[in-house]
């Protein structure tokens, strides 16, 4: 067995489903060989258990660990950064039919919420600032400038409220998860449906805010009356206060700082 | 010039670490750059606070000098950018492999001690030196198994790599002790046989002793008496100031326990170097 064969055997065995040990011919001591498999898996699983604590509590250690084993076998780590490997597990688990069949209906939402918190906690970015690079105070002519450390989650269950996760009733929820500028913790709040859709589109288009408001209201079958505009003004004020929205900039320059 | 006792910057220790005063002989901090490259939020703040307070050295976990997979060029670029910003005098990583065919084990896996493996390491260290544009120091790992087949002694393998790659050595005293106990060799003879003029840094750590007698390099236990003694032996062989890291990555105790270990290491360090300092031997330089 040459060097390449040895390295492939050890790593393949470390991530394979089952008890491992297929490659033990490469080593003089099979028991010691299995130690590496155990250490590699324990480290990665331990980090996933920290990142997806709520999901783990919901589905139980055994189901969680089994799903993680399938993840490693089907998608062995492809990033030199361990945090990326853990984040990718959240996306895998959300689609893992075997896990979902064993788990509560809330689990996919929990996985999404915890994956967002995990990735937003460390996402690096250049923060757009008021008064810089054309960013100005909010008006309806400009294109919305969002906090680049932001994700809009469409949840079927409001899992962010969870203490007892099993008792969360189904309720469609648009959750803005973000890390404010200058603050090291991830925060979140529920967005009103019209505003949530505006935030989503603002991440995809360069349209002026006024145009977005009109098209979203039409799409949602809502009349742009005084009441709706007041609600929208409240949403925008809250988003500015919380650091979800930074301001606006001329539409042609709006694409640079998208999340 | 960085010298004296350092500690690894870890989130659970940060608050107490930054609150320490000059009475604790803590001279520098070591960071794993993988925790900080392309990363904002808490880690960005942690790094900025650490830089304002202590000199830093970097110790990587992902280069795996024995890996056959080419370096991830994007990661190398990010690493170079961070190291350049931090202006560290060298960057260290491990003599091991941790990836193959683009799959990363996120652990330090053992290499066979033979010529094919040493040539891979030498080539890769050269690549790292070229890409990062700073000196590379290599750390020999704790290992629990090696492939069957022909092999040379570990010290000979390590020395060959160091000489032919012109790399520096990060000598891990705990790794030497753990390997010596697990594989049955004399740790002092091992250290004495190395090209010690290449040593730029030492690591000291605790390890776990299993019921079956196997020692596991956990960095999660107090430093044992035998490792303190081996550290003193190593310092006497070196007879010059170098940065010495107390590694603690897991099972964090009360900070007072770590402070006591730092003080004990510092006392040994100063006792050994006192005669040299009187004769003004220069600190390690590159």
How confident is the prediction along chain B (286 residues), in pLDDT tens digits per residue?
999 999 999 999 999 999 999 999 999 999 999 999 988 888 999 999 999 999 999 999 999 999 998 998 999 999 999 999 999 999 999 999 999 999 999 999 999 999 999 999 999 999 999 999 999 999 999 999 888 777 899 999 999 999 999 999 999 999 999 999 999 999 999 999 999 999 999 999 999 999 999 999 999 999 999 999 999 999 999 999 999 999 999 999 999 999 999 999 999 999 999 987 777 655 555 5
Q: Is A160 on the interface with B (CB under 8 A)?
A: no
**What residue ranges do the domains of chain B occupy?**
4-17+31-251
Which residue in chain B is spatially nearest to A86 when comparing CA positions? B106
Separation between Cα atoms, residue A38 and residue A42, nearest integer Å: 6
Indicate the burial class of B11 (C-beta count within 10 angstroms; 0-12, 13-18, 19 or more).
exposed
Q: Are strands B243-247 and B199-205 parallel, antiparallel or unpaired?
A: parallel
DSSP A41: H
**What residue ranges do the domains of chain A occupy?**
3-103, 127-253
Portion 63-102 of A in contact with B at CB < 8 A: 76-83, 85
- Taking an 8 Å cut-off on Cβ atoms, the answer to whether B117 and A3 are in contact is yes
- Does domain A127-253 fall under CATH 3.90.930.50? My reply is yes
Pair of tokens at residue A110: 């929990």
Cβ(A84)–Cβ(A47) below 8 Å: no
- Taking an 8 Å cut-off on Cβ atoms, the answer to whether A1 and B42 are in contact is no
Cβ(B28)–Cβ(B50) below 8 Å: no
Length of chain A: 259
- What lies within 8 Å, CB to CB, of B176 at 6+ separation is B140, B187, B190, B191, B230
Indicate the burial class of B44 (C-beta count within 10 angstroms; 0-12, 13-18, 19 or more).
middle
**Angstroms from A82 CA to nearest CA on chain B:** 7
- Taking an 8 Å cut-off on Cβ atoms, the answer to whether A122 and B145 are in contact is no
- Taking an 8 Å cut-off on Cβ atoms, the answer to whether A81 and B45 are in contact is no
- Taking an 8 Å cut-off on Cβ atoms, the answer to whether B109 and A122 are in contact is no
Q: What is the pLDDT of residue A165?
A: 60
Question: What CATH class has B4-17+31-251?
Answer: alpha beta
B120 vs A contacts (CB less than 8 Å): 3
Cβ(B145)–Cβ(B110) below 8 Å: yes
Q: What is the DSSP string of chain B?
A: ---EEEEE--HHHHHHHHT--TTS---EEEE-GGGTTT--THHHHHHHHHHHHS-EEEE-SS--TT--SPP-HHHHHHHHHHHHHHT-S-EEEEESEEEETTEEEEEEEPPPSSHHHHHHHHHHHHHHHHHH-S-EEEEEPP-S--BSS----HHHHHHHHHHHHT-EEEEEHHHHHHHHHHHT--HHHHHHTS-GGGEEEEEEE--EE-TTS-EE--S-SPPPHHHHHHHHHHHHHH-S--EEEEE--SS---HHHHHHHHHHHHHHHHHHHHHHHHTTPPPP--
Count Cβ atoms below 10 Å from residue A192 Cβ, excluding itself: 15
Pair of tokens at residue B90: 């060298």
**Angstroms from B260 CA to nearest CA on chain A:** 28
The three-state secondary structure class of A234 is: helix
pLDDT along chain A (259 residues), means of 10: 90 83 60 89 97 95 97 95 96 96 94 97 88 93 96 96 74 96 92 96 92 94 93 96 95 50
- The ipTM value here is 0.91
Pair of tokens at residue B16: 């107490």
Q: What is the pLDDT of residue B81?
A: 96
- What lies within 8 Å, CB to CB, of A29 at 6+ separation is B145
Q: Is A27 on the interface with B (CB under 8 A)?
A: yes
Portion 84-123 of B in contact with A at CB < 8 A: 97, 99-107, 109, 111-112, 116-117, 120
Select from A3, A76, A185 the Cβ nearest to the Cβ of B112: A3
Which H helix or E strand runs over A78? none
Q: What is the pLDDT of residue A26?
A: 54
Pair of tokens at residue B26: 């803590």
């Amino acid at each position: 067995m040459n060097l390449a064969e040895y390295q492939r055997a050890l790593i393949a065995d470390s991530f394979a489903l089952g008890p491992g040990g297929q490659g033990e011919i490469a080593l003089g001591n099979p028991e010691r060989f299995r130690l590496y498999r155990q250490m590699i898996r324990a480290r990665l699983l331990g980090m996933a258990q920290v990142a997806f604590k709520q999901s783990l509590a919901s589905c139980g250690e055994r189901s969680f660990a089994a799903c993680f084993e399938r993840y490693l076998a089907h998608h062995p780590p492809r990033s030199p950064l361990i945090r990326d490997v853990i984040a990718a597990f959240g996306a895998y688990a959300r689609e893992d039919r075997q896990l979902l069949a064993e788990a509560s209906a809330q689990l996919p939402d929990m996985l999404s919420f915890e994956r967002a918190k995990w990735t937003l906690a460390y996402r690096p970015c250049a923060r757009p600032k008021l008064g810089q690079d054309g960013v100005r105070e909010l008006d309806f002519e400009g294109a919305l400038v969002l906090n680049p450390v932001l994700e809009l989650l469409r949840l079927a269950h409001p899992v962010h409220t969870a203490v007892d996760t099993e008792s969360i009733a189904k309720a469609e929820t648009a959750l803005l998860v973000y890390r404010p500028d200058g603050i090291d913790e991830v925060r979140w709040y529920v967005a009103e449906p019209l505003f949530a859709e505006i935030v989503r589109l603002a991440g995809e288009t360069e349209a002026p805010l006024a145009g977005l408001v009109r098209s979203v209201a039409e799409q949602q079958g809502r009349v742009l009356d005084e009441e709706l505009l007041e609600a929208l003004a409240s949403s925008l004020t809250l988003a500015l206060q919380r650091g979800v929205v930074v301001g606006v900039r001329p539409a042609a320059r709006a694409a640079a700082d998208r999340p | 010039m960085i010298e004296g006792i350092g500690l690894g910057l870890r989130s659970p220790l940060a608050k107490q670490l930054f609150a320490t005063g000059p009475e604790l002989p803590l001279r520098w901090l070591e960071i794993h750059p993988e925790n900080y490259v392309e990363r904002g939020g808490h880690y960005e703040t942690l790094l900025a606070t650490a830089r304002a307070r202590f000199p830093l050295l970097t110790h990587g976990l992902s280069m795996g000098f024995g890996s056959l997979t080419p370096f991830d060029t994007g990661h190398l670029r990010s690493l170079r950018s961070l190291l350049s910003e931090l202006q560290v005098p060298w960057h260290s990583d491990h003599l091991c492999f941790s990836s193959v065919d683009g799959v990363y084990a996120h652990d330090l896996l053992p290499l066979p001690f033979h010529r094919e493996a040493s040539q891979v390491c030498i080539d890769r260290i050269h690549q790292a030196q070229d890409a990062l544009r700073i000196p590379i120091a290599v750390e020999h790992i704790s290992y629990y198994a090696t492939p069957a087949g022909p092999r040379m002694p570990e010290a000979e393998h390590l020395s060959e790599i160091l000489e032919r790659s012109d790399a520096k050595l990060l000598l891990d005293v705990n790794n030497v002790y753990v390997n010596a106990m697990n594989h049955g060799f004399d740790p002092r003879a091992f250290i004495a046989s190395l090209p010690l003029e290449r040593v730029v840094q030492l690591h000291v750590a605790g390890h776990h002793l299993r019921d079956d007698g196997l020692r596991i390099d956990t960095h999660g236990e107090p430093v044992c008496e035998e490792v303190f003694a081996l550290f003193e032996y190593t310092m006497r062989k070196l007879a010059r100031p170098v940065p010495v890291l107390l590694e603690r990555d897991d099972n964090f105790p009360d900070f007072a326990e770590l402070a006591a270990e730092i003080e004990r290491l510092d006392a040994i360090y100063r006792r050994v170097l006192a005669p040299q300092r009187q004769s003004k031997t220069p600190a390690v330089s590159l």
